[in-house]
Structure 1
Amino acid sequence: MMAVVCGVALGAYAIPLPRLGDALLMRAGEGLAAADVHVLWSIRLPRVLLAVICGAALALGGCALQGLFRNPLADPGLIGLSAGAALAAALAIVLGGQLFGPLARSFGLYLIPAAALLGAALAAWLILRLASHHGRTSVLMLLLAGIAINALCGAIIGGLQFVANDDQLRNLTFWTLGSLAQGRWPVVAITAAALGLGGVVLWRLRLQLDALNLGESAAYHLGVDVQRLKLWLLAAVTLMVGVSVAFTGIIGFIGLVAPHIVRTWLGPSHRHALLASALLGAVLLVSADLAARTWVAPAEMPVGVLTSLLGTPFFLMLLARRRHGFD
């Protein structure tokens, strides 16, 4: 709650706490400026809520994938969802007019998010096709296919950066580094719906994910339909992460850091890990966005830069702690 209050009140245009309550209620009060209400309701509040929703979605996706892979190093970017979204967004930015024609004008500002969501869905479909054989999906093949998709998408994005003009390159760079500048009420509604649907699916799968911690064979003998579990889990993660990435760009390490911290505190049970991961992911992204908006105000730093600065040392520490397990 403190992170949300600070995120709403602070920024290039600060709203003092005594006026914040009046602005929230849109109630005329002494010293309340019209700008307070406008900044709060049109800019600041939807942006902070978008950070809450997307942080929770990325953390939930990471928690679910760590349970699926039974590995604390897993996160939504590992299986190529973010890379697929990034490639589609890059195509929309650099070649939008040529590829989409009149659709580009029809979608307007939503062209890039729509393309990114489609790219995440296509990446998930391709990865599932590559990892499935005779009706069974291999977790190892999911991982390897994700690595291949990441490499391929990265190479194509590099080629698009080479042919992009200055404006396109600036937009592409800012999008791939992550930003919550798209925070508007319609965007909040769309991402909240995706989080709600995906979160409900993951919550219903929590006991099956706990059984999967014992291994696929043990889970099968406990009555878990492992193949069905994998498909539903990947569908839920694709929905939540795909929609989030579509509107915010690539924001790394939230899906890695938050679930691992939660599992360290609360243990492996998904009954606690899912809820706590969503809460911690929301707090981390709101805090990172607040720092991005205030450290270089009135300019804005890409929020993905800050989450990477937080996540990279954590990731290296995690690798160092587990290096004996890889020997």
Structure 2
Amino acid sequence: MQNKLSLYITFGMLLLVSLAVVSLYMGVYMFERHSLAEIIRGIIAQDSSVSQSDRFVIMDLRLPRIAMGVLIGSALAVSGTCLQGMFKNPLATPDLIGITSGASLFAAITIVLGSSIKPYIPEVFHYSLLSIMAFIGALLTMLLVYRISTTNGKTNVVVMLLCGVAFTALGFAIMGLLIYISKEEQLRDLTFWNLGSLAGATWTKNAILASIMAVAYILLINKGKALNAMMLGERDAQHLGIPVEKIKKQIVILTALMVGTSVAFAGTIGFVGLIVPYILRLIFKSNYNIILPLSAVMGSVLLLSADTVSRTIAQPSEIPIGILTAFMGAPIFIIILIRSRKSM
């Protein structure tokens, strides 16, 4: 089993690296005389023959964007996989149960009302206020959905999905009010969050994302055995020595943190946490020992592929990445609903 998992992850990593190299080449900008390999070697060696424009496009635009696509795709896929394992249902993803909507709403509140909020907050938090608020929105939504849909340790999937619909509708209503009162610059920022984009990628944001994901993955990525046990039922899992409540709390907090930070930096990118686990489950059934670590790699592959298409299919402009992931995810959502009609 371990050898097979290593083989699958190695294949996924090779696919991801190949895709990242292709993505570096793709774009409107044409490099001056040099090949991409020569430019990268020149940047590393600090060769003066590499033009400033080439250096800027590689180091400040494309590489940060590729890195952010890898990080956010991985974070969203792992979040969706963990939530599906905890709720024992393939429809339990951050966007479908309202977590993404909650994070987006609090990010929108920060964009429009941030200047009014900042005087009451210590200055040390001003730079990261957007990320903090998005995390708070994701965490509050996650806790509310979990409390409302869970009775006596059992989660009602229909109630959970209806909670997601209700919170998404409420978030949409409040966001509509914020759009109404926002200024022109704030309106552009709100449009960015609603559609989703990796265009705002920077090395600082990537460092924050990587730090959060490192902590989350240390605690979550080896939980495949526990999620497999929880699929049998929480009581059976406890009899097998699995600390169910502790794991559930870790999943709730860490998925909210990853989703909140992803929304703060890239806006609303839906369905990644639905598409990746669904495809992996078709191949590996419900074995979270394989699905969970592999989703970390394949989520990156999916989002980086979508971003590469989004910025090359309609040059010189780009299609918001949230639109592409919705186009891919909505049919899969319908398929899952059709297959799950009897069990629901």
Shared fold (TM-score, shorter chain, > 0.5): yes
For residues 137 and 93 of structure 1, the distance between their equivalents in structure 2, rounded to whole angstroms, comes to 38
Distance 2:83 2:303 in 1: 19
Distance 2:319 2:212 in 1: 27
Matched, 1:206 2:224: yes
**Counterpart for residue 88 of structure 1:** 106
The answer to whether the aligner puts 1:276 opposite 2:294 as a matched pair is yes
- Quote how far apart the aligned CAs of 1:52 are: 0.3
Contact 1:79 1:146 in 2 (8 A): yes
Identity %: 38
* Cα distance in 2 between the residues matched to 1:44 and 1:204: 32
Q: 2:333: which partner in 1?
A: 315
Mapped contact 1:195–1:240 kept (Cα < 8 A): yes
Distance 1:218 1:162, change over 3 A: same
Distance (Å, rounded) in 2 between the aligned partners of 1:65 and 1:102: 35
Question: Is the Cα–Cα contact under 8 Å of residues 51 and 286 in structure 1 kept in the other structure?
Answer: yes
1: CA distance, partners of 2:239 / 2:251: 20
Query: Aligned-pair distance for 1:138?
Result: 4.8
Displacement of 1:85: 1.2
| TM-score, normalised by the number of residues in structure 1 | 0.88
Residue of structure 2 in register with 1:22 after alignment: 38
Cα distance, 1:253 vs structure 2: 0.6
Q: 1:235 to 1:115 in 2, by over 3 A?
A: closer
Kept in 1: contact 2:134–2:260 (CA 8 A): yes
The aligned runs of 1:246-285 (5 Å cut-off) are 246-285=264-303
In the alignment, what sits opposite 1:149? 167
Question: Unaligned 5+ residue runs, structure 2?
Answer: 1-16
Give SS of 1:76's match.
coil
Say whether 1:8 aligns with 2:24: yes
SS at match of 1:240: helix
Distance apart, 1:88 and its partner CA: 1.1
Find the aligned partners of 1:123 and 1:185 in 2 and give their Cα distance.
29
Cα pair 2:143 2:252 within 8 Å, conserved: no
Q: Give 1:227-238 correspondences, 5 Å limit.
A: 227-238=245-256
1:184 aligns with 2:211: no
For each residue in 1:264-299, what CA deviation from the matched residue of structure 2 results, as whole angstroms up to 9, or x when unmatched? 112211121012211111011111111111122222
Find the residue that maps to 2:340 and give its secondary structure. helix
* Cα pair distance change 1:105/1:190, threshold 3 Å: same
> Would you say 1:173 and 2:191 are equivalent positions?
yes
CA 1:190–1:159 in 2, change beyond 3 Å: closer, same or farther?
same
Q: Which moved more, 1:22-31 or 1:228-237?
A: 22-31
Q: Do the aligned residues in 1 keep the contact of 2:65 with 2:199 (CA within 8 Å)?
A: yes
Provide the secondary structure at the position in 1 that maps to 2:296: helix
2:135·2:256 contact (CA, 8 Å) conserved in 1?
no
1:308–1:142 Cα change, 3 Å: closer
Question: Higher mean Cα deviation, 305-314 or 23-32?
Answer: 23-32
> Which one-letter code corresponds to 1:21 in the other structure?
A
Aligned counterpart, 1:37: 55
Confirm or deny that 1:50 pairs with 2:59. Answer: no
**Distance in 2 of aligned mates of 1:33 and 1:296:** 27
Q: What amino acid is aligned across from residue 28 of structure 2 in structure 1?
A: A
CA distance in 2, matches of 1:98, 1:137: 41
Structure 1 residues 267 and 130: CA distance shift in structure 2, 3 A:
closer
Residues 32-69 of structure 1, C-alpha deviations (whole Å, 9 max, x = no match): 53322221111110110100000000000011111111
Q: Which residue identity does 2:327 align to in structure 1? A: L
Structure 1 stretches of 5 or more lacking a match? none
Matched length: 324
Distance in 2, matches of 1:104 and 1:150, equals 30
| Pairwise CA distance, 1:79 | 3.3
Alignment partners' CA distance in 1, 2:105 and 2:142? 13
Letter in structure 2 aligned against 1:247: F
Contact 1:128/1:137 (CA < 8 Å) preserved in 2? Answer: no
Task: Give the letter aligned to residue 72 of structure 1.
Answer: P
Rounded to whole Å, the distance in 2 between the matches of 1:264 and 1:113 is 34
Aligned-partner Cα distance in 2 for 1:248–1:290: 15
Q: Alignment RMSD, CA only? A: 2.8
